[in-house]
Amino acid sequence: MWIAAAFVTMVCFGANNSIFKWSTGNGYSKVHIQLYFYFTAFILTIGFGIIKGVHLGLSAILLGAIIGILNANGNIQMSKAFENGPASLTSPIIGTNAIFPILTAGIIFNEHITVLQWVGIVFMLGSAITIQYSPAANRIINYRPWMIRVILSIMSFGLLGILMKTSSFFHIGSLEILIAMYGGGTLYLGICSLTIKEKWQKSEANVGSIVGLISFFGYSSYFYALQTGTASIVFPIVSLNCLVVVLAGLLFFKEKLKSYQLVGVFTALLGIIFTKL
């Protein structure tokens, strides 16, 4: 079941990234949409928490809030990196952040990974990088700001994955973490929205609400997969959410699948097969 949950997370994150891609192309603020989706998900989790009588402990509040802030900041830094350099290099480099929680799961949390599973992990990570890479890159405009944003994004997403595994290792309830995560993220993004002073659009609330619903199901599945399965396999599966973005590009944005992306899809499937052996 945890493998299925990891795939649900992959699909949800891919769907959200596709929506972000569409919304950015239509002039929507990524910060505003994130704020709406965090707030929507926060209301959902609070509702479930009240029904189930969840008690928020201090550790859950701190871990969850930090995870929420890291996720929001990672997305913001990534969007800033896109503004200063080529997306063809930015996405694959930032995608390598998955290696940090994978190594942490194996070294610190002593997860046993077979040789075949390691082959599968390498295949999946390589595929995620290959699928997002585009050789037709524009030249880097501002190298130093671009590199700083890329590093900050990698650190945010990498640390986020480590903290998610930490919360499952200490058996902190996923609903507790989600409430604190979306609450902390909402507060952080609210402050960011006041500082950037971008124009607000009514339709951003609708888009953000949809993303919030998808995110709620995605992260719920994510925590379940980490709590019941092997994190070293869950993380690379989730990193393949770029497959969903590519598929959405084919279906909705009339994009064409390039030959190297086709190779990436094939190796991703091989990687999934190896991790299940």
Helices in the chain by DSSP H: which ranges? 2-25, 30-52, 58-84, 87-95, 99-107, 115-132, 143-169, 174-196, 202-228, 231-239, 242-251, 259-275
Give the other-Cβ count within 10 Å of 61's Cβ.
17
Residue 228: partners with Cβ closer than 8 Å, 6 or more residues away: 1, 2, 5
DSSP for 105-156, written as a single string = HHHTS-----HHHHHHHHHHHHHHHHHH--SSPPPPS-HHHHHHHHHHHHHH
Q: Of the candidates 220, 190, 182, 193, which has an alpha carbon nearest to the alpha carbon of residue 68?
A: 182
- Reading the block at residue 166, the tokens are 């930490």
Question: 226-235 in b/e burial notation, b at 16+ Cβ within 10 A?
Answer: bbebbbbbbb
- Three-class SS of residue 29? coil
| CA separation for the pair 92, 136 (Å, rounded) | 14
Amino acid at 53: G
Residue 92: alpha-carbon gap to chain centroid: 14
Q: Any idea what the Cα angle at residue 234 is, between residues 215 and 43, rounded to 5°?
A: 20
Q: Report the Cα–Cα distance between both ends of the chain, in Å, rounded.
A: 16
Rg (CA), the chain: 18
- Reading the block at residue 59, the tokens are 């550790």
Residue 174: alpha-carbon gap to chain centroid: 17
Residue 27 falls in which region: left (phi positive, over 0), alpha (psi -120 to 50) or beta = left
Tens-digit pLDDT string for the chain (277 aa): 888 999 899 899 888 888 877 876 777 888 888 899 899 999 999 998 888 888 888 899 999 999 999 999 988 888 778 777 665 667 777 777 888 888 887 777 777 777 877 888 888 888 877 777 666 555 556 677 888 888 898 899 889 988 988 888 888 888 899 999 999 999 999 998 888 777 888 888 888 899 889 998 999 999 899 888 888 888 888 888 877 877 777 777 676 767 777 777 778 777 777 766 5
Give the other-Cβ count within 10 Å of 118's Cβ.
15
pTM, two decimal places: 0.82
